[in-house]
Structure 1
């Protein structure tokens, strides 16, 4: 649930948005769920036009002594909104991850740390995921379950900036389907 509270201090600013992570994010962040957690959180932040807080592009307004009242209100508004986003991030993490974020004062600092920790572009992780795609086969799973497994791996690669091309993804799928799909696979070069 998201609550929108209109600020009575200064009506020129957008309303303060409170995110109830327990009702909007369907699982706590643990290292293995980072791609799903990040996708949910980013969608929520984009939907409420708050993504610039975590990306660091919407900076805290500086208090201007020449326009003290307005600049103090803008500064206070930004701090309150950022703290509510930080609270939502903290509330949506597991008890093993939350302590890693306690020292951070802004949502941008916490977000950047989580991305650095869990979406790192380590060559080893990329190679492991690509090997998983290469070795993936349907086995006893249904075609739907097999395709879902391939999609999860491809999505994780995309999140860490190593997207799989559509042609390569098609090859991984066709190679992993098994012998009962051999006729379909054999006909593909003729279709082009």
Structure 2
């Protein structure tokens, strides 16, 4: 009878991978317990290398989008949002380590926030004790301004016209407005963006605007760009052909006018070469009448 050995009380070790040149199959010792908060490494954010420009009153939407993406990538957004709060110390060593780790990581995030703001904004959050407090202050200061800016951008997008710009320049201007609105408020749908573009095209694009409006499926911006650029190229070819025809017609008309003027001049020259004034029929009749009266 085989006796069963009692289970070991030793905690499992972390995942390790071992391989050798003679053995192609590595051996794994798996750790089924997740590491505690105290075992996680502290993360220091390099603002200079990872944020394009510092926060100013006019760049808050762009700055917030970049900083949020950075925190999400490092799994640190919960600190700034306030959803991951500082753990309380229950008197045990492990709890105390978790609390210390949270404070250290939060201070690193707060330092990154301070370093990423312009000198005129830094004093406004300098008294914040946590990253969540600083993040909340910044949103309270500039979120309302961003809402006003979004309304202005939407009005510009509604009223924008192509004018004398090329299709590429016009679409670039529309897309820039839409992207800024998306950063501040929410993304604009493909259908709405298509309507904004079509409303500002002008009468030259009526032929292609009608079938685009009648589509049952949404049109991506890239597809819309290709269609309009192609139609613009068609209009340019048509205009060039029209100008060529007009130039040819004008040249033909001018040539005919020149030939008609030469014929008239030649006719006058022939009449004048017939001789003196008496050689005309009227003069001959008068001459015969005078001779008869004298006779």
> Shorter-normalised TM-score: what interval?
0.7 to 0.9
Match of 2:59 in 1: 33
CA distance in 2, matches of 1:15, 1:188: 54
Residue 135 of structure 1 deviates from its aligned partner by: 1.7
The correspondence of residues 101-180 of structure 1 with structure 2, limited to 5 A, is 101-120=125-144, 124-139=148-163, 143-180=167-204
CA distance in 2, matches of 1:89, 1:144: 38
* Range 121-130 or range 25-34, more displaced: 121-130
Residue 89 of structure 1 deviates from its aligned partner by: 1.1
The verdict on how the C-alpha distance between 1:139 and 1:80 changes in structure 2, with shifts beyond 3 A counting, is farther
Any idea what the Cα deviations from partners look like across 1:35-84, whole Å, max 9, x if unmatched?
2211111111111100111111111111112x2x1111111111111111
Any idea what the Cα deviations from partners look like across 1:84-107, whole Å, max 9, x if unmatched?
111111111111111111111111
**Which of 101, 114, 118 is the aligned partner of 1:90?**
114
Q: Higher relative contact order at CA 8 Å, sep ≥6: structure 1 or structure 2? A: 1
CA distance in 2, matches of 1:44, 1:123: 23
- Structure 1: give runs of 5+ residues left out of the alignment: 1-9
Residue 162 of structure 1 deviates from its aligned partner by: 4.9
Q: Higher Cα Rg: structure 1 or 2?
A: 2
After superposition, the CA RMSD in angstroms is 2.5
Match of 2:75 in 1: 49
Any idea what the Cα deviations from partners look like across 1:107-154, whole Å, max 9, x if unmatched?
111111212222227764443222111122344555445444434433
Task: Answer yes or no: is the 8 Å Cα contact 1:129–1:157 preserved in 2.
Answer: yes
Match of 1:17 in 2: 43
Q: Normalization by structure 1: what TM-score? A: 0.80
Match of 2:281 in 1: none
**Number of residues of Structure 1 aligned to a counterpart in Structure 2:** 181
- Structure 2: give runs of 5+ residues left out of the alignment: 1-35, 217-295
CA distance in 2, matches of 1:11, 1:78: 8
